[in-house]
Every structure is written in C-alpha cells, then in structure tokens.
Amino acid sequence: MAPKKIIIAIDGPAGAGKSTTAKRVADILDYLFLDTGAMYRAVTLAAYRRNLSIEDAEAMALLAGESVIDLRMQDGEQRVFLNHLDVTKEIRTPEVTQRIAPVAANAQVRKVLVRKQQQMGKDGGIVAEGRDIGTVVFPHAELKIFMLASLEARADRRVKDLMQVGIQADIEQVMEDIRRRDESDAGRKHGALLQAPDAILIDTSLLTLEEQVQRIVALAYERGA
C-alpha cells in the first residue's frame, strides 16, 4: 500500500524539545514542518515594532489577520518571515518572549492563526508542533504526541538554542521565564496546553534527540506514513 500523508501533532511545554524533534521527523518523512509558536512570536514582534498595545484584543486580531507570516526551510533551517522580512532571530529575543502571553491568550488572534495552520495542513504530510495542535488545530491527526521534560532539562536546552542564534542567556532567568510560561500556557481559557486523551506521552528528560525522533517515526510508520 502506498504511504499515507498523515498529520503528526506534537504538543508540550516550552523547551521540551518539540521543535528540534519535529523538524527531524519532518525531514525523515519528507513532510512539512510547522512551528506554530513562531507564528505567535511573529504577531507579538509585529505589535512590538508598531508600538501597539498587546492588551488591545481587537487591534491584535486585526494585526494577526493582516500579517503575512511565512515559514520556510532554507538549507535545513527554518526561517521565519514577517511581511516578507526575515525575523528568524528577532522572534526569539526576550523582548518578544516576555510579551507573548496576552497574545497567546487572545481568542481572536488564536482563531486567525489556527485557521492559517489548518490551511497549511489541509493535504496532510505535516508535522505541527505547539500547545493546542492535537486538541484544537488538528483534532483528527493520525498521530498525537505529548512531549514532557523536567524544568532543568528544558532550561538547559533553551539556553543552548539561544546560544546557537547568538544570544547569551542566564539559566536562572530562563528557568523563571519557562515557569511563568508554563503557568500562562496551562491557565489560559483558549488554546491551553492540554494533553489530548489519544496523545502518546513521551518524557524526553533522559532521551537523546535521535531516540525521540526514532520513536515518533516508528509510530508514524505504524499509522501508515
């Protein structure tokens, strides 16, 4: 039987290793990689640059609707474009990360971004990662993964990720940021971080990247990919 182009949904808290894992899985299966957090980050950056109040729900929803957000793979790396300009590095800065909670909690912004995400996955063959992928964006995904890791392991990875894009971060500060984001991710009314009942839990604290990747790829093959 010819392989199916399935949807793989990966959810979990900040720093659990979702992005790197999802990117590798997408690579192996020759699927699209969708980093939905990058979209929330891009909208937050757009507001910051325009000096728009992120608390203004209506204005933020309009901004999300009119922002052109492109996620492209270039030389094996994901690049993020906001209104055709490369903002890959800017969306990872603390200025953006610290302002993101009200944007992610905005139901109207979520509606706009979720629709864009569903559009990108309409033909299957996609590995999407975020917080609400298996619950809201692709509730019918053939494979749902919920990735977890200890706070220490997550902070350590985040510091290394930031270093790769040339940002020097303090581990204590990163842990505090993650703790705060866990709270707002779990506590918001719309699109809260939630394990779908049919999601498979993977604790990555003690797994290598390759082990995580192989586990998910094997599950994808089981589901017909």
What is the x/- site pattern for ligand DC, positions 44-83, by CB under 6 A?
----------------------------------------
Helix (H, G, I), strand (E, B) or coil at 198: coil
d(CA 178, CA 180): 5
For residue 224, the minimal CB distance to ligand DC (Å) is 25
d(CA 187, CA 89): 28
Residue with smaller CB distance to ligand DC, 7 or 14: 14
Residue 37 in contact with ligand DC, rule: CB under 6 A: yes
Phi, psi at residue 149, to the nearest 5°? Answer: -160, 160
**Strand pairing class (77-82; 85-86):** antiparallel
174-177 — which CB contacts under 8 Å span 24+ positions? 175/151, 177/94, 177/97, 177/98
d(CA 74, CA 138): 26
Among 40, 63, 174, 225, the residue binding ligand DC under the rule CB under 6 A is 40
Residue with smaller CB distance to ligand DC, 18 or 220: 18
For residue 110, the minimal CB distance to ligand DC (Å) is 7
What is the x/- site pattern for ligand DC, positions 179-198, by CB under 6 A?
--x---x-----x-------
CA distances from 193 to 41, 109, 122 (A): 16, 16, 23
Residue with smaller CB distance to ligand DC, 71 or 207: 71
Residue with smaller CB distance to ligand DC, 4 or 205: 205
Strand partners, 81: 70, 86
CA distances from 191 to 33, 113, 184, 188, 219 (A): 20, 11, 11, 7, 25
Is the separation of the CB atoms in 128 and 137 below 8 Å?
A: yes
What is the total count of residues that contact ligand DC (CB under 6 A)? 13
Which residues, numbered 91-110, are part of the site for ligand DC (CB under 6 A)? 100, 104
Residue with smaller CB distance to ligand DC, 202 or 218: 202
For residue 202, the minimal CB distance to ligand DC (Å) is 16
Report which secondary-structure segment, H or E, holds 195: none
Residue with smaller CB distance to ligand DC, 163 or 224: 163
Which residues, numbered 123-162, are part of the site for ligand DC (CB under 6 A)? 130-132
For residue 68, the minimal CB distance to ligand DC (Å) is 19
Distance of CA 157 to the CA centre of its chain: 15
Binding-site ranges for ligand DC (CB under 6 A)? 14, 36-37, 40-41, 100, 104, 130-132, 181, 185, 191
